[in-house]
């Protein structure tokens, strides 16, 4: 069971947001949703510790997407699309998406991708924390 990870689901279609959120909630995740790219950015800017964003790539301008991945580098992004065009997928990855999910998808595809992405994120954050501890002087250690 995930340790209460918060996933932000963005799609312009309410039924898609609700289905994806319900699927994730059934596996123990918390979810928030946004209809637009701008709403997603507002949520990210506002306060919450979002662990993952799942978004529809066609809703985003290059500038908005780049802002999201540059300003919030510790929040991985999975793009969701029905487009089978390789250029669309390349664009998403070039802009900084971690991975993509092709619609329609099976629940196991969503669950395994979300788990893999969040595990990678957690390992990356733990690695960074350990590296910072190694670089900082040990407290209480006397110099010789």
**How far from the centroid of its chain's Cα atoms is residue 115's Cα?**
11
Per CATH, the homologous superfamily of domain 6-135 is: Response regulator (3.40.50.2300)
Question: Rounded to the nearest 10 degrees, what angle do helices 62-71 and 86-95 cross at?
Answer: 40
Q: pLDDT tens digit string along 55-65?
A: 998 889 999 99
Domain boundaries defined on the chain: 6-135
pTM: 0.87
Q: pLDDT tens digit string along 67-105?
A: 999 999 999 999 998 888 888 889 999 999 999 999 899
């Amino acid at each position: 069971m995930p340790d209460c990870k918060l996933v932000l689901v963005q799609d312009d279609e309410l039924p898609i947001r609700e289905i994806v959120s319900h699927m994730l909630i059934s596996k123990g995740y918390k979810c928030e949703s946004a209809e637009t790219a701008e709403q997603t950015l507002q949520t990210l800017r506002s306060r919450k510790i979002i662990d993952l964003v799942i978004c529809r790539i066609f809703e985003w301008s290059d500038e908005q997407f780049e802002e999201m991945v540059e300003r919030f580098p510790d929040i991985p992004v999975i793009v969701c699309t029905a487009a089978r065009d390789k250029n669309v997928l390349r664009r998403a990855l070039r802009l900084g998406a971690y991975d993509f999910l092709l619609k329609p998808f099976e629940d196991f595809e969503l669950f395994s991708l979300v788990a893999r992405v969040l595990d990678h994120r957690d390992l990356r954050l733990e690695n960074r924390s350990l590296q910072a501890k190694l670089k900082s002087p040990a407290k209480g250690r006397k110099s010789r």
